[in-house]
Structure 1
Amino acid sequence: MNPETQFSKERIEMLCDGVFAIAMTLLVLDLKVPELPKHTASIEIWHALREHGLSFFAFALTFALAGQFWLIHHVFFHYLKHATRGLAALNLLFLMFVSLLPFTTSMFAAFGSQQAGMVPYIANQFILASLIGTQWLLARSQGLLTGAPTDPKRRRFAVVITALPTLFGLLLIGELIMPGSLAWALLPGVIVVRILSRRVEKRARAALTS
């Protein structure tokens, strides 16, 4: 391996795991215990917690989406033969926006009903999806992927990694047109993409056996 042109997959994966672990842990710091006297009635405590509902929603949503990006990155590196300088650079840029998740999540939690709170959040997800999708396309164009393009599992993964930028891009445009109305669609959108990818895999398997 030429250290100037090829990079260790293992070292990049270790860095990725560390950044994801830190970023996902930092998300919880935005959840605050209500500042109430110790002898406050339970009903008042529950009421105070409900007032922090958007913070809990933002935390859960971002943790789930970050987990999806971590899984996608893991599968991508499973198919990757080795990393190049270009892929390493894109990966560092990808991780920079992973580390930005706690900030954009805080913006969402504080100003989720306003465009100024939602646009940075959705834009962060769009950039992450675009960067991991770009890495996949670059690796494919350079012949760095294992497995045949007709392999059902690889085709299923290709659908996920290429469809997510479109999904988040459409949601970002929608947020610019209808501020504060599309936060609920982020995770369901990812689930729909996953379901469609499974159908692609089933059709690919059927085509191989026919």
Structure 2
Amino acid sequence: MAMKERINENFLNKNRLGSLIDGVFATCMTILVLTIDFPPGLDIKDDIVIANAVMKMIPQILIYFTAFGLLSLFWYLHHSRFECIKRIDKQFIIINVIWLMFIALIPFSTSLSGDYPYLHTAVFVFHINFFILSAFLFLLWFYAVKNNLIDEKIDKKMILANRDIKISMIVVCLLALAFSFISPPLSILVYFLIIPGTQIIKFFNKP
């Protein structure tokens, strides 16, 4: 019985889960650059042709930078809050793996919206992808708090601030989804609201 408990304890090691998460993020963030495609079939005779092609790629490049920035933010939020967790269980691992499955979809949704930035459906897929990521990030924190996976030393205000930050990200994703019906390419800019939103939440939840 003691041996079985020791095996389970070794298997449910949060450092191993953290390594898996880091690996998936590193892979996705690396291949994101492949979503930027230079227009094929151009008769390049001078710099003007290249300049015009690059100008047409601006929406694609903007979506790439947005996706890379958001992935960086998701990694940071998950990694920093992961340090607050004293232990993990099987359910927590399952939620993380499902979350990683949608992380791995980001290069696809970024490529789709980058290729068709003016089409609502393509950009909608991008927003849905990040909405699901935000929802699961909230679910991970909610599950950890509810099932006492959080270190008892963590301040209650910090727990509430983490919850509110994740809720604010869900709200921003919903706003981006709604704005995509008005202007698909400009709806990408809605994500920049996350920066002031998180700072406001941190300010009002100072210990």
Superposed displacement of residue 154, structure 1: 4.1
User: How far does the alpha carbon of each residue in 1:138-185 deviate from its partner, in whole angstroms, 9 at most, with x for none?
Assistant: 11011111234434x44433321232122212332443x435142211
- Provide the aligned length of Structure 1 versus Structure 2: 199
Structure 2 unaligned blocks of 5 or more = none
Provide TM-score, normalisation by structure 1.
Answer: 0.85
Q: Which of these residues, 109, 112, 118, is aligned with residue 117 of structure 2?
A: 112
Q: Distance in 1 between matches of 2:51 and 2:165?
A: 39
User: How far does the alpha carbon of each residue in 1:75-130 deviate from its partner, in whole angstroms, 9 at most, with x for none?
Assistant: 12111111111110000000000000000001111122121111110000000010
Contact 2:84 2:154 in 1 (8 A): no
The SS at the match of 1:59 is helix
Which one is further off, 88-97 or 23-32?
23-32
Contact 1:34 1:45 in 2 (8 A): no
Partner letter of residue 195 of structure 1?
Answer: Q
C-alpha spacing 1:3/1:159, structure 2 compared with 1 (3 Å):
farther
Which one is further off, 135-144 or 23-32?
23-32
RMSD (Å), alpha carbons: 2.1
Q: Which residue of 2 aligns with 1:98?
A: 103
Provide TM-score, normalisation by structure 2.
Answer: 0.86
C-alpha spacing 1:33/1:110, structure 2 compared with 1 (3 Å):
closer
Q: Which residue of 2 aligns with 1:208?
A: none
Q: Which of these residues, 187, 191, 196, is aligned with residue 192 of structure 1?
A: 196
The SS at the match of 1:83 is coil
2:146 aligned with 1:150: no
Report matched runs for 1:127-138 at 5 Å: 127-138=132-143
Contact 2:38 2:57 in 1 (8 A): no
Contact 1:155 1:200 in 2 (8 A): no
Q: Which of these residues, 85, 92, 98, is aligned with residue 90 of structure 2?
A: 85
